[in-house]
Structure 1
Amino acid sequence: MAEITAGRVREAAELLGIRDRASLNEIRARYSEKIKDWHPDVSRKDPAESHEMTIRLKEAYDLLIDYCMNRPVSFRLDDLEKDLAQSPADYWMDRFGDDPIWG
């Protein structure tokens, strides 16, 4: 897989219809929705176009999952206590606020 860049991650998010923020479950749900529309076995669109879009959607999904799964998460007690004391929105902003995709 090619290097993960902010531009590629943003492009992948846009292809899946993700605007500013999404959890892993939301990324999976968006991919599932899109692939149901475009998969050549079920799509009523042009077969060649459906095939190409299915490939693009799968690559976008893989890139976003790889990006999200390889971000470091601290399990130090101090960090856990701080993170768990915050509201989910504050935690997300502290962790991803300056990120080009989620911030």
Structure 2
Amino acid sequence: MAEFLFHLELPHGDKQLKEEVPGQEDHINQLFEQGRVRSYSMAAGRTMLWCVVEADTEQEAMDIVSKFPVYPFCVDVVHHTLMLHQDKPYALPDISLN
């Protein structure tokens, strides 16, 4: 599978878009569980979001993103095929024997 970085630009101050955000978060959580989204970030002003999507092809990645609840509001969508995407590894805390 390949990884694709998406940058989605959203309109500023769209009330209807703000109503879609909770559904967007639920949808993204499902994609995390399925292993289709590796990372997801939304700007504080809700005007941009970034995500890394895992898919077999570029078209499959676009199909995943086009099903986002906020996708119909997108002003611009840019994506790049990634050669490397490295996350900070999660580690368990040290065990205390006290």
Whether these two folds match at TM > 0.5 is no
Q: Which structure would you say has the larger Rg?
A: 1
Query: Bigger relative contact order, structure 1 or 2, given CA contacts below 8 A and separation 6+?
Result: 2
Greater fraction strand: 2
TM-score (norm 2): 0.29
Greater fraction helix: 1
TM-score (norm 1): 0.28
